[in-house]
Every structure is written in C-alpha cells, then in structure tokens.
Amino acid sequence: MLIVMKSAASGEEIQAVIERVQSAGARSHLVRGEEVAVIGAIGDREHVARLGLEGSPGVDSVVPILKPYKLASSEVRQGERSVLEIGGRRVGGEHFALVAGPCTVESRDQTLATARIVKDAGAMFLRGGAYKPRTSPYAFQGLGEAGLRILAEAKAETGMPIVTELMDVRDLEPVLAVADVIQIGARNMQNYTLLTEVGRAGCPVMIKRGLSSTLEELLMAAEYVLKEGNENVLLCERGIRTFETAYRFTLDLTAVPVLKQLSHLPVIVDPSHAAGRRDLVEPLSLAPAAAGADGIIVEVHPAPDEAICDGPQALHCDDFARFAAKLDQVAAIAGKRIGAAA
Amino acid sequence: MLIVMKSAASGEEIQAVIERVQSAGARSHLVRGEEVAVIGAIGDREHVARLGLEGSPGVDSVVPILKPYKLASSEVRQGERSVLEIGGRRVGGEHFALVAGPCTVESRDQTLATARIVKDAGAMFLRGGAYKPRTSPYAFQGLGEAGLRILAEAKAETGMPIVTELMDVRDLEPVLAVADVIQIGARNMQNYTLLTEVGRAGCPVMIKRGLSSTLEELLMAAEYVLKEGNENVLLCERGIRTFETAYRFTLDLTAVPVLKQLSHLPVIVDPSHAAGRRDLVEPLSLAPAAAGADGIIVEVHPAPDEAICDGPQALHCDDFARFAAKLDQVAAIAGKRIGAAA
Amino acid sequence: MLIVMKSAASGEEIQAVIERVQSAGARSHLVRGEEVAVIGAIGDREHVARLGLEGSPGVDSVVPILKPYKLASSEVRQGERSVLEIGGRRVGGEHFALVAGPCTVESRDQTLATARIVKDAGAMFLRGGAYKPRTSPYAFQGLGEAGLRILAEAKAETGMPIVTELMDVRDLEPVLAVADVIQIGARNMQNYTLLTEVGRAGCPVMIKRGLSSTLEELLMAAEYVLKEGNENVLLCERGIRTFETAYRFTLDLTAVPVLKQLSHLPVIVDPSHAAGRRDLVEPLSLAPAAAGADGIIVEVHPAPDEAICDGPQALHCDDFARFAAKLDQVAAIAGKRIGAAA
Amino acid sequence: MLIVMKSAASGEEIQAVIERVQSAGARSHLVRGEEVAVIGAIGDREHVARLGLEGSPGVDSVVPILKPYKLASSEVRQGERSVLEIGGRRVGGEHFALVAGPCTVESRDQTLATARIVKDAGAMFLRGGAYKPRTSPYAFQGLGEAGLRILAEAKAETGMPIVTELMDVRDLEPVLAVADVIQIGARNMQNYTLLTEVGRAGCPVMIKRGLSSTLEELLMAAEYVLKEGNENVLLCERGIRTFETAYRFTLDLTAVPVLKQLSHLPVIVDPSHAAGRRDLVEPLSLAPAAAGADGIIVEVHPAPDEAICDGPQALHCDDFARFAAKLDQVAAIAGKRIGAAA
C-alpha cells in the first residue's frame, strides 16, 4: 500500500503516518518527490488494509498495490488456467461450455422438450430456475421443490448436468440433491452468507456479476467460495447497469479478457439477461465467443410467447441447432470448441 | 400498459397484439397516430405485465403506465405521509431522525462511550453493527451475538432504540431480541427471502438502497416488507455508483424529494457510507436536511483512528454536539426538528 | 406523445391538458384505464415536443412515442442499409472496413512506414490525427497543418483514403483538402456548429459516440449532418463511461446490433480507445466483427514504446497482418469480408 | 508516478522500466515489497506522463501521483480561496451568488419582465441564452445576436451583469460585447479550442461540468482557461448521467465540497438543468447552499407554460422572492449571504 501525502504535508504529519504503519507491524519506506512524499507500507496485507489512513492529517490518498483476492488470482496458479470437470464435462481451456434451457421451470413438458432439443444441438448443461428472484413480490416466484423434481427428471432422461439457482441458504439441501452447478444470481453476488455456505457444500458454483459490481468485487465473491476449499467456481458476466436506456443492460464484453488476465477461473457470458430481447441474443453470444469466453448460458423455450418469465429473451427451440453451429464456428477461431472431447 | 408498434407494422401484426392483450383478460384500446399505432392494454396489472410482448412481430416498445408498487406508493395514502412510532420516537412529518453510533460494535467501552455522547447531543437512535457484510472474506465480520449483547446493554443504559443490521435469516431471532429497527444493507436490498422474513417479523425495517438500484427497485424492496403486513419501513439513500472516482459513492440527493413524491414512507440519508471520508460527512448531512429528508444515519467513534472498520468516515465524538446543533438549524428551515416532541 | 396522468388527477386537470394539446395544433385522444388516464397527442412532432407538459398539474409523466431523428432512422430507407462509397472503397453491407494507422501523425517516417504496413495487410483506410483533443493543455496537441501534409503524402504513395479528425471549424478548409473522412471526436459529438459545418462541406463524416451519450443522442448528432444534405455518415462506438475502473472505457457492444436496427448508417467500432491497452485490442476487435459491425478503426505504430500519444494501445506493425487475417475470418462468419470487392 | 510491477515480473523487466524512466530524464526509485516491486518516477510531470508504460512487459499498473492540473489546484494559492469580482459583484468567500433568469431569451418583454423580478428578489446576475445547444437540429436554436441585444437592454435597465452561453468561437466578439460571464455549456466542456479562446478573451467564464466528466476533467477544462492568463473561472455542477431514470440527471452534490478542497475556484450549482422539473428546483437549491456552494444559477420565467425551451423546469416569477429568501437563510448557516456587501 502506498500513502500519498499532500504537498503541504508537514514533516510531523509524514512522521505520524510512518509511525502508524510501523505500529501495524509493517515496514515503511519513504520516497520524497519534488512535490509530494509517498510512503510505502510493506507487510501483511490485512493489517495494512486496516490502517484506515484515508482521513489522517496530511494524507492525500491511499493507493492499494496488492489485489485483495488471492485464491481467485491468476498468480496463484502461475498463469495456468483452471479447467473444471463437472458432471463429466469440462469447462475452460479448449472446452467452450454451451449451457442452455428455460429461464424458469414452468412444467414437466416444457422442461423436458427444451432439454431434448438443446441436448441434440450440442448443449452440455441444462439450465432452469426453480427459485426465481423477482423484483416484484406479486410476480411468479418459481415452482420451488416441484421444479427441482422436474429438473432431476430431465437430468435422468438426457444425462445433462443441471445448472440451477439457489437464493436462500435454507433451500441448500434440496438444491444440492439436483444441481451439478449452483447458480448465485446477480442480486445475491454479495450475499456473503450464501457464498460461504455454497463454498462449504463443495458443489460447483457459477457466480453472476452484480449489476454494478466491479470485476474486483466479483473476484472477491469468488474468493468467499474458494476460501472454503471449493475450487469449482465459474464467473459469469451478465450485463451491467449504465446510463443507456435503448436496451436492458450493457453487456460488458471487456470483462471477458480482463477477468481471464486477473483470474484463473473460467468466464461464462449470459447474453439473454443482458439483452432482454431475443434478436440481440445471437450477436451477444458470438461476440464473447470471439473474445475468448469459456462459454455462454442462454435461454431457450419451445413457445417463448407463452413463457411465464422472460419469454421475450428466449431463443426458439427450432432455431437453436443453427445458433449452436454458428457459435461453434466463432469459438473455433478463438481456439475452443463446444463440448471438445473430454 | 401501452404497446407502441413500429411504423412498418402490418395490420395483421397490430391485430395479433390486440388478440394477445384480450387473451390475457385485458381490454385493448387502439390509437392510430400519423406515423405509428399505439395499443393500450387495460386490466389487471399482473396479468398485463406478464404479456411479454417486447419481442413480438411489429412491436417497437412496451411502455408500462402503472407503477409496479402499490403499498409503498403515495397514492395508497392519498398523499398523506407516514409518521412511524418506534421505541417511543417518531420518524417522519416534522420529526427529523438523528441516528448515530459506531459503524461496528467493537467493544463494550467503545459502544457505551459513543452511545452516551450521541444521546447527550440529541441523537434519537443508536446505530451499531454486530454482523458486518464485508467485501473481503478475510476482513473482520463483526462480533455477532456478543455484539448484540453490547447493544442491549447500551439500550438499557441510555434508553435509545437500536438500529442494527441483519444479513442472514438464520440470525433473525437474536437480532429481533435487541433491534428496534432492523437494517437491510445495500448489498441485501434485493435479497427477497430476507425482506419477506423481516416483513413477517413485524419489526421496523430500514432498507438501504442498493448501489445501483433504481428508486423503483427500492420501493419494490419496501413492497416485499409491506406486503407481509409490516408498515414500519424506512427508506435509506446511501450513495450510488457512478463513473466518478474522486470520492467513494455519489450521494443521490435528488432521491430525497423524488422518493417523497412517489411514496409515503420516511426517507433517511446515510452520509457516512456515501462519502467514506469524515470531512465530507457534514456537508452531506446538512444538504439532505435542507432538501427535506426525514433523518440521517451517521457514524461516530470516540477514536476513529483506532476503529476496526470505516474509521476514516466516522465523526469524532467530541465534535458531535456542534454537528447536531447545526443540523437541527438546517432541518428547521425545512420544517423539521431533531427529536420534535412526540 | 402520450401524457400519463396521475391517478389523483381531476377532470379539470385532464381537460386542461387536452386543451394544451389542441392549442398546439395536435389532436388529442383520451384513454381511461382503471387507475389512470392517458392522453395521446397526435400531430406535428416538433410542435408536440414543445408542449412542455412535464410539470403541469395532474401530469405524472410524458412518454415520447416517435423517435426524434428522421433521416438517420432505418424507417427512412424502409430497412435497406446504407453502403457508402468513399475514395473508391465501400463501407457497409458485405464490406467490412478496416481502418488503421497511428493515433497521432508524429513524423513523416512513422506515418509512411505505418501506412505501407497496414496497406499490405489489407487495411482500406489510413487513420492519423493532425489535431489532437487532449485533456491537458500541457500535452502535445498534434502537428496541425504539417501533419496534414504528411497524411497527404501517405495518401499519394499508398492510395489509401484518409480518416482524420477536425476539432475547430476554422480548420475545416485545410482538413477538407486531405481528408476522405472527417472524424468528429467523442468530446465534440454534441458540438453542433461543427456538425453543421461538416454537414455542409459534404465530405464523409465519422461521428464518434460521446463517452456518456445515448444511442439516441448519437443518432441526433448524425441527424445534424444529414439534415445539411450530407448522406455519408459513419457511426462509431468507442466505449462508454461506467463505474468499472479495471480498464479505461466499457466498450458497448450491444450498441452495434441496436444501432443497426435503429438506423441505416454503417456502424464502426474503435477498440483501441475503448481499451487503452494493446492486449485488449484483439478480443475487442474480433467481438464486434462477430456481432455484425461494419468495420473497426484501430491504432498501429511501428514502435509503440516511442509513440508520443497512446502508445500503450497501439498494435505493433509486425503483428498487424496476422491480426487482420483473423479479423477477416470472424467477419466472414457474420457475412462480411475486409475489403470485399467494390 | 508509480509503476507497480506484476508479482511475476523478472529482474530484467524491472530493469527495463527503470531505464525507460531514466531515459525520460526522471529519477527512478525502486521499492521491493514482499509480493511486488514498485518503481517511483520522479521528475518533470509532463515527461513522466508521456512514458506510456501501461503496456510494457511486467508492468501491472501505473499510478499517477501528481494531479494533472496546477493553476486550478488549491495548492497554487496555499489553500486560500478565490473571490472573483465581476461587474461590481463578488463571488466566492462569504458571497453567495444568485444567478437567475430565463433559460432562453425569447422576447424583449419576457426577458425584461424576468430581469426586473429577479433583481428585486435579490438576484445578482441575469442569466439568459441567445445561442442554445439543442440535441435536435429541428429545435429552436436561440435568437442569436437579436437575443444578445435584448440582454444588453436588460443589463442597461437593471444594472445586472449578464451570464450567457457561447457555443461557437466565431460568435466570440458579439458575445463579449454583452456578457459579463461567458458560460461554456456541459456539451462543450471539452471543446478545447473554445476554452482557449475564452481564456484569451479575458472575460470571466463559467464552465459547466460535462454530463459524464470527472471532477479532474472539469478542473482540466478550467486549466485551459487559466493557462491563458484568465483567472476568472467559475465551476458549475449541473447533474451527471447515471443509471437512474426517475428524474433527468443526478445532481452530484458531493462535487461541491470535493471541488472546494481540490481547487480555489468558486463552485456554482445549476439545479434547474439537473432536475428538469420545477418541483425539484427548490430542494436542489437549498441542498448545495447548505453544503457550502458559492452560488446557484436558476431558471425563472413569467409564464413557464409558454416557454419555448425548458419551461417545465423554470420557477415562476411570482414565487421567486420567497424562494430567494429561504435560500439566503440556508446559505447563512453555511457562512454565506446572497449578495453580501461587496
């Protein structure tokens, strides 16, 4: 950590900061420039972080040098990328993960029909929500355990591993019984008790970036899971909130290459929730594939017009095979293939 | 809800939308302009909301007309504002609520010392966190139940009602035993299971606006609590995330008068977390008082340099009485007084 | 335009709004829902826009229905896309435009060397700045007319059309003598006098989206040029400002398909300024190519370490041919080729 | 400037950076922490800024230490604040500037009537636009020189100094003949040729912050004017663009105390354009007065319903005296008075 002093800081103020640093068990290192002095604080990062020097007399700003996450960082693996093995599928490296399925599990028929179609088109994982976080308390909140049973049936029939969301720690047990990947939604990205519990459960976790969360905060959320010894974490970019109102969220494509530099964890993109409109899902799927994403998670419905939730953003089942083939072509240029042989 | 058709929409496309609207049990109303047609859908708002016409052929956009919250809206009380009674204090109307105390309950001494000082200066509620949501899993997470016991002691001694945060539904019972107001933090503003449970518990709730939550989403969070029959909800603006990096968060002062128009609920402002710096707390407290806020919640510490958490933003205890007096002067111009006689 | 009344609006208030609408020469159309009334105002859009009913008694909100741009809209060409012909090259349709060159014209050698290399690798246009808008008044502001002369020489030698920025209307004449495309920078996107003058000049114009400009505002900027009878307008997405600080700007990839829906004008992407870092330029070039962009404009330098301006984001000349070939592969999947035969 | 190396940076990479720094004529200073090395570059700030080390091998990030503005900084005056004298009025220090008038000069009657009323209520400056930057090329663009003549007449009659906008350098001469303060609008905040020219003209300048400009960029815009020897610069906060859509712009109140720390220049707030709605103008005027702003600039109209431009945000003339008196009360608590004796 570097403490930049004001140009008007007195010698006493500089000395006081040095003493604070040393009292925290860190070494200090003073560099005097022509206009300002800078003090480096070297030592245990948690102790140094706790110094709280921002408000102190003579201090202009405090610049953190070390990244606050460790286990999620690319340094921890010396730059080698994680390839996760989940339900017999690999994610990361040359393996482009195509996760597809309905937004919400509405019925046995809808879910099984969708599962069969996306499987035939090459999807590797089936997504589907039994618990739905809804902005309105009056909206449909998901089928709950009945929905989980339908997902279990789809898994039994198609063999596809299941990605499904957990919202409430009290539902952990039934979700664990079905899920191959537990999804933490954007609104719960900083629900630390939930992150800690899924970390302990050991099940693979896909963490969606919060609508206004920085990449550093996303990696800190991953750190909560990793710290419990659970190494199977997928990061998911799903659009951020900006000033633009011409579409729902702004897909942050730059997050893909930047996350891959900062972290060894695979990076998935959700074009459906970012766009909120079917016609944008294809370009917003091909773009991350070209940019090196490790997969996408996309919504598909046999009859989007009748979907209970988010129908306008679901791809039509009968267009899905064409979509998947084009996606595979683009992923290939970036050195990946959908479902590359495990 | 209004469905705006594209100018190139065909008669069949317009007819198809009308039929979708009617099939949802709503009445439709077609207005043809010179360039585009607009279809009004009139009926039960949940049914209409579920139509999902955004992606349909010929549809340009869908414009919601009715606000999605009901119980939180100002209409529900015909414009009359709520005045809550909490622990013998009133909040709202002419009563300006001064909530003060440490960010985190660190020790018995620190908490009791702060409580005495803020009480003497006119504070009406004591704030203090026993459970702390921290971005880093390596940071201090609060004293937990030991912290709650210290708050209970401070309450017993000073008579001040307690405002404290709940993060995990599993901690509801011990928190209820001490809290007069349960705080839902910004990161949990869309933790719907938590909101529903505090709604059922009946205890007054202060909901902090998420860092990138719209005012409508904040009011929908309040609606989750109100829907359970719990009418004691305080809204809290605490800064939003913008592009500016010269300070921590951007206090959204416009939210104060706008929330007071949209809703009957009292509006509190948290200048400490918005600013992150002590020297900004005073201007960011006086400003909302001038703009008609119903109170502020502010952090105070006897020795901020030694605070475990957020010391740089805590006011010094020995400056607090002067601060409170100046705040009261400004509030008076806006027609309110700190602790106006209940 | 639709005027949504408050639910508490009185009959008199509704009547007053209707009279305002009619007094502006528009027809009014009243729709009464169960909770609120909505008044449609049908007529000349400029008159209606000027009504200013937002603050009127009983009015909840005013919803514009017609888009404020006309000549830039896709409707004006019944959905057919513009293909521009500039200096013997085509942009739009199946023609993917690769615009490359130095950020700043620094010297004859640097510019000519870069021009030769990018031409050999298939670039269609040479970019280079003689006038540079710089945040700091102390920074290098470009070579000015001497820079224009170097660009003229590069054009004479390579035959590549020139893209260069105009900042000041007083420099229009010398810039016109060299430029095949005048670039309006992001900071000048709403410099309406500049837009009007380049509109009158008739020279093709590339308008860069402002850092926080909406797509509608970008299209309105194009409208300023189109209105003067100049049909050769290229839109350029170059990253917007968001809360994220892990990289310079957030490339708004969703803007590509959305602009192509809203407008007939070609859409170019500038990955270099969006990213500010060389290692991000390749993924942020491939992504828009996959998403259907009509071209990219990218910075290349023979010795980026010695560049006067923005060296860290310039591609190395000796890597450019590989880059261009990969880009062409991705563009091909989206139905375009670099420099498709004119 | 500090260059933070990656933890995996080799000794050669560190040495290469040190040599780059020294080759730029700066001294280097290496600090090795336990995990990373940091290199301080000490020397002429422009040379160091030009190093462009962001992309170099082994470099993690580059942290600027010195602020890029000098003449606008508070250090340049050792913390003393500027009090400007303009047309016999003082702005800054204990003098709260109330600038009021119509958005647009529409007619002689409207302008003179407004001028008389705001003068009687204590306003110190008359605002009014003759040149109007409009998002739409089809909208009213101002009366131009005819508008300037009306302003001259209002000034002659009331004695109030005039604040009016300049958009185009070619209009500088006629604007200078009337204006006591030239306003640079938000859209032109980074129009550097305009800033340089008003800097040279010597006339006092009020620079409005761009919609997504950082405070640092605003101060750099001021620096463009100050560098030409023109010391009479007012900074104006007028709302920034955020994700919130419940109102027009987000007034950034935190900018007021932060700008006053960073710079010696007076800080004015424009509540009218921030809010876009009359009912928000009063709270958004009182709030900055409480927070220590040096003045506000506010729109007033005798018949807002008939205003050509921005009527919904104009205060009614007949309510202005009450408004000004309340504002003065709040300013007094912050140690200022409207029109304190010069």
**B36 and B112: one domain?**
no
pLDDT digits (tens, 9 = 90+) for B59-90: 888 888 888 899 999 989 988 999 999 999 99
Residue finishing a domain among B20, B35, B64: B64
Window from A201-215, C65-79, C203-217, D177-191 with minimum mean pLDDT: C65-79
Residues A233 and A327 in one domain: yes
Q: Is C247 on the interface with A (CB under 8 A)?
A: yes
| Residues of chain D where predicted confidence (pLDDT) is lower than 50 | 341-342
When the pLDDT of each residue in chain A is averaged and rounded to a whole number, the result is 92
In a domain, D146, yes or no: yes
Q: Say if the Cβ atoms of B188 and A191 lie within 8 Å.
A: yes
Mean pLDDT value across chain C:
92
Instruction: Please list the alpha-helical segments (H only) found in chain C.
Output: 11-23, 45-49, 108-120, 145-158, 172-178, 192-201, 215-226, 255-262, 271-275, 278-291, 320-333
Q: In this complex, is the C-beta atom of A79 within 8 Å of any C-beta atom belonging to chain C?
A: no
In a domain, D78, yes or no: no
| Residue pair A99/A297 in contact by the 8 Å Cβ criterion | yes
pLDDT at B222: 98
Say yes or no to pLDDT of A47 above 80.
no
CA-derived radius of gyration, chain D: 23
Residue B319 CB contacts under 8 Å (≥ 6 apart), including other chains: none
Residue B246, chain D, CB below 8 Å: the answer is: yes
Q: How many inter-chain contacts (C to D, CB under 8 Å) are there?
A: 121
Optimal mutation site among D31, D44, D59, D252, interface A, most CBs of chain A within 10 A: D31
Is C201 in the same domain as C314? yes
Interface contact flag, C310 D138, Cβ < 8 Å: no
Closest alpha carbon to D338 in D290, D295, D282:
D295
- Mind giving me the DSSP string for B60-128? EEEE--S-S-STTBGGGGTTPPP-EEETTEEEBTTEEEEEEE-SB---HHHHHHHHHHHHHTT--EEE-
pLDDT band for position A49 (cuts 50, 70, 90)? low
Distance CA B186, CA B172 (A): 18
Whether residue B245 lies within 8 A of chain D, CB to CB, comes out as yes
Q: Is residue C228 located within the same domain as residue C279?
A: yes
CA-nearest residue to D60 within chain A is A65
Q: Does C4 contact B31 at a Cβ distance shorter than 8 Å? A: no
C-alpha dihedral, D153 to D158 to D164 to D170, nearest 10°: 30
The full DSSP string for B178-199 is H-SEEEEPGGGTT-HHHHHHHH
D91 in any annotated domain: yes
| Spatial separation of the C-alpha atoms in residues A115 and D5, rounded to whole Å | 48
Mark whether B32 and B92 lie in a shared domain: no
Q: What φ, ψ does residue B228 adopt, rounded to 5°?
A: -85, 5
Tally the domains of chain A: 2
Instruction: Give pLDDT, residue A46.
Output: 66
Mean pLDDT value across residues B234-248 = 95
User: Does A78 map to a domain?
Assistant: no
Residues A112, A152, single domain; the answer is yes
Residue pair C283/A257 in contact (Cβ under 8 Å)? The answer is: yes
CATH number of domain containing A34 = 3.30.70.1140
| Cα maximum dimension of chain C | 75
Give the closest of A2, A6, A66 to D2, CB-based.
Answer: A2
Closest CA to A98 of A128, A129, A125: A125
Residue B168: pLDDT over 90? yes
Asked, for residue B124, whether it belongs to a domain, the answer is yes
* Judgement on whether residues A236 and A205 belong to the same structural domain of the protein: yes
- In this structure, the answer to whether residues D8 and D54 fall within a common structural domain is yes
Contacts with D3 from chain A: Cβ below 8 Å: none
pLDDT tens digit sequence for C269-286: 999 999 888 999 999 999
Angle between helix A278-290 and helix A320-333 axes, rounded to 10 deg: 20
Specify the DSSP element, H or E, that contains A205. Answer: strand A205-208
pLDDT beyond 60 at A303: yes
Pair (C142, C289) in one structural domain: yes
Least confident of A43-47, B281-285, C229-233, D154-158: A43-47
A304 chain-B contacts, CB cut-off 8 A = 52, 55
Query: CA of B249: which chain D residue's CA is closest?
Result: D254
- Quickly state the pLDDT bin for B342 (edges 50, 70, 90): very low
Range of the domain at A33: 2-64
Looking at the complex, does the CB of residue A112 fall below 8 Å from at least one CB of chain D?
no
What pLDDT digit, counting tens, does each position of A133-142 carry? 888 888 888 9
Within a domain: D77 = no
pLDDT at C242: 95
CB-CB contact of B238 with A267 (8 Å): no
pLDDT number for residue D37 = 86
Chain A residues close to C283, C-beta within 8 Å: 253, 256-257, 290-292
Q: Residue C282 pairs with which residues in a beta bridge?
A: none
Q: Is the pLDDT of residue C342 over 50?
A: no
Contact D55 C278 (CB under 8 A): yes
CA distance B240 to B50: 30
What confidence tens digit (pLDDT) does each residue in B10-34 have? 999 999 989 888 888 888 888 887 7
Out of C55, C193, C304, name the one closest to residue D168 (CB): C193
pLDDT tens figures, D173-227: 999 999 999 999 999 999 999 999 999 999 999 999 999 999 999 999 999 999 9
C78 falls within a domain:
no
CA B119 to chain centre: 24
Q: Give the confidence band of C62 by pLDDT, cuts at 50, 70, 90.
A: confident
Residues B126 and B154 occupy one common structural domain: yes
pLDDT band, very low/low/confident/very high, at B111 (cuts 50, 70, 90): very high
Whether residue B253 and residue D215 make contact (CB cut-off 8 A), yes or no, is no
| Interchain pair B287, D284: CB under 8 A | no
Are A246 and C214 in contact (CB < 8 Å)? yes
D321 inside 8 A of chain B by CB: no
Instruction: Specify the pTM.
Output: 0.94
pLDDT tens-place string over residues C146-198? 999 999 999 999 999 999 999 999 999 999 999 999 999 999 999 999 999 99
Name C99's bridge partners: C125, C297
The rounded distance, in Å, linking the Cα atoms of B188 and B195 is: 9
From residue D97, alpha-carbon distances to B163, B289, D321, D340 in Å are 40, 21, 15, 9
CA dist D38 and D9 (Å) reads: 11
Strand bridging mode B205-208 / B233-237: parallel
Helix A192-201 and helix A215-226, axial crossing angle in degrees, nearest 10: 40
C59 shares its domain with C91: no
The answer to whether C246 contacts A214, with C-beta atoms less than 8 Å apart, is: yes
Give the per-residue pLDDT at C37.
86
- A89 and A57 in a single domain? The answer is no
Cβ neighbours, 10 Å, residue B325: 12
Q: Check if the beta carbon of residue D30 is closer than 8 Å to that of residue D42.
A: no
Question: Residue D22: inside a domain, yes or no?
Answer: yes
Q: Domain holding C136: CATH number? A: 3.20.20.70
